[in-house]
A and B are shown apart, each in its own frame.
Chain A
Amino acid sequence: MNGRVFRIDIPAHQAVQELLPWYAAGQLAPDEARRVHAHLQGCAQCRQDLEWEHGMYAEAAQSADLPPGADMEAALARLMPALGPQERGAAGEGRRAAAITGATPAGAPARWWHTAAANQPSWLRWALAAQWVAIVGLAALLLRPADEPAAYRVLGSGVAAGGNLVVVFQPNTSERELRRILQAQNARVVDGPTVTDAYLINVPAAGRAQALQALRAEAGVKLAEPLDAGSAP
């Protein structure tokens, strides 16, 4: 073991490096200043960099003159006649008084990048509000009365009103064949199969006679009969 009993804590070193310019000017909060001070005791590089920072401030202080050619009185004389109307701001005297006493005025939003932490009360308030909006919205969706008729029907309801033909297929007709026959007539199954293997189907009323003819011509169809209101199948 050599004389060096500790290694440099890299993240801490980097954090101090970033703060050095403001440490040199005494512009850090007390806890940050203490942290930098403690690190400096054991870090020669940071002490050397701190010297450089002091040099920069010294140079900056030497060049405090106005930029060459800048003339305040001439510039002010140009501006004064040009002062137009003022905008009426939202900030009232109360807020300005709060600024004088150092209190944060209630209406002044803090800069967002200062409040980006998730546990900030203001963020929590907004998150909670958003959550309530979602809850109320979903509840309203659930409780909304079903004012539109559902697009589906329970089998058996309103059957008689929908079917206008009764068809019985041969027992060995495949589902595929059955589908083809019905689709060829633009027919839809309304009910069935019944206990007698009959299907109640609906075809467009205008073409019912032709549909009936065509169905009877199909080898797979054992029976096809029109179904009129009042007539028994």
Chain B
Amino acid sequence: MALTASDTDEVHLLGRIAAGDKLAFEALYRAYFPRLSRFVGRMARSAPLIEEVVNDTMLVVWQKAASFDGSCKPSTWIFAIAYRKTLKSLKASDEPVESDAALYEDDGDRQPEQLFSRQQLQHSVALALDQLPAAQRAVMVLTYYHEMAYGDIADIVECPLNTVKTRMFHARHRLKDLLWNERESSR
């Protein structure tokens, strides 16, 4: 496992957090809030839920910093906690793990079809992602939005390497189908 300079910085921060340093905790929180909230936001939709899951995650980081043993990158360790917290909150909040894409269809900012802009394409990708099962969605989000290697993703979602690859393979096919359908129906 090769650590980058920022990984090393984060290992140091975790060491200080384990010693009870709240300033170090704030620094790590600010470094991770954007990444974690984007990740959780792609898994669950409501903003209060996102902040709650990020805070639950970072509270565990505070409590268990001393148990981080360096067997993986700090980001892998923290995202693994976030993934578990996200799944738990999705179950607890009854927010459908397979979100209903129809909820986001009529938000009024649809462009004329001939202007199939990049923004609209992003919107379509987001909608299509929402229709994937949570396990496939997590692997896709970590790959495309967080540019993580499949080995790190396997650690985060706690499954074998081959499962990550095949899950991703099926998710891509599903996503392509969904995007194609979306485009056809908007014609």
Contacts and interface: CB of A to CB of B under 8 A. Distances in A.
Interface of A: 17-19, 21-22, 25, 27-28, 52, 56-57, 59-60, 62-64, 66-72, 74-76, 78-80, 82-91, 93, 95-96, 98-100, 102, 104-105, 107-111, 113-114, 116
Contacts of A70: 33, 37, 41, 47, 50-51
A30 to B, nearest CB: 12
B38 to A, nearest CB: 7
Given A70-B41, A72-B34, A102-B1, A56 B144 contact: yes
Q: Is the interface of B mostly helix, strand, loop or mixed?
A: helix
A119 B38 CA distance: 40
Given A79-B29, A91-B69, A113-B154, A22 B122 contact: no
A99 B11 contact: yes
A104 B71 contact: yes
26 contacts: A22-B149, A25-B147, A56-B144, A59-B118, A66-B34, A67-B37, A67-B41, A70-B47, A71-B51, A72-B30, A75-B51, A76-B29, A78-B51, A78-B55, A79-B59, A83-B22, A85-B63, A89-B66, A89-B67, A89-B68, A91-B69, A100-B3, A108-B69, A108-B70, A113-B160, A114-B161
A109 B66 CA distance: 16
A152 to B, nearest CB: 55
Interface stretch (B12-20, B84-92, B94-102, B108-116): B12-20
Given A21-B143, A96-B14, A67 B38 contact: yes
Interface residues of B, number: 64
Given A17-B169, A66-B38, A95 B70 contact: yes
A54 to B, nearest CB: 11
A111 B72 CA distance: 9
Given A57-B147, A91-B66, A91-B69, A75 B55 contact: yes
A68 B47 contact: yes
A98 B70 contact: yes
B145 A79 contact: no
Contacts of B155: 111
Contacts of A74: 51
B58 interface: yes
A111 B122 CA distance: 35
Nearest to A69: B47
Contacts of B148: 27
